[in-house]
Structure 1
Amino acid sequence: WAVKEGVLCEENMRAVRFDVHDVTLHTDAIHRGGGQIIPTARRAMYASALTAEPRIMEPIYLVEIQCPDSAIGGIYGVLTRRRGHVFEEYSVAGTPMHVSKAYLPVMESFGFTADLRSSTGGQAFPQCVFDHWQIL
């Protein structure tokens, strides 16, 4: 329950583990029920998560774009507007085709294919695959 509503934006928390090393319970059984223990444990976990300096992470796509050499300029414009960046590019030997690999935040990928095709005259063909998480 404590990790279903994270401390920063009330989203599910990922890759978090809480180790409880010591617990002191009331001697009277009526004070050891779920109604007393769960809210207290939740507050303790919430406080420890805030103390750990949490960060928001966003998913990043690996985008591979194939296009003719004449359409490369349109690729850079679209990626720049959408917070993407090219990290590798090469030409396919014996063809006029060019391949660019870039990272693009998933949030910026909605409508990316249509935008890319309109900027390159329909000559670019992107393929998006989840690659990693990045700290905002």
Structure 2
Amino acid sequence: MKKIIFLISIVTLCLIGYFIYVNLGFGNPTAREILDDNPDADIIKLDNLIYVKNKQEDISSKYNIEHGEFIGEIKKRSTNKWWFRNLYASKLPKGTKLYTTDDQYEKGDAPFIILVEYNDEVLVYDALVEG
């Protein structure tokens, strides 16, 4: 009986901790938070980070940003806040190519900036990182 009460207490504490963590906004912004604030946001998800389109005109040539290694392609265009997965975008079409500004990319090691080739332009997306 004591073991059951102990397990229930542990599970309850874990659930309370999780809900506090989620509701107080600790951690990096999520697609749900971004799209709740701005349903028209231009975002991409990569390696569980959300990237938002940099609105500065021609930033890639202004700062001499060149693309490095190919990261992947957009798998789906979606604005579903609850099921926004890696390599989903809110505005870009399926098949849009993503690049890093670094020479190398390893899955799980998300860069701070990703570059997108779309309509013969290079677009810059910045990671939204807490802290």
Structure richer in helix, relative to its length: 1
**Which structure has the bigger radius of gyration?**
1
**Fold shared by both chains (TM-score > 0.5):** no
Give TM-score scaled by structure 1 length: 0.29
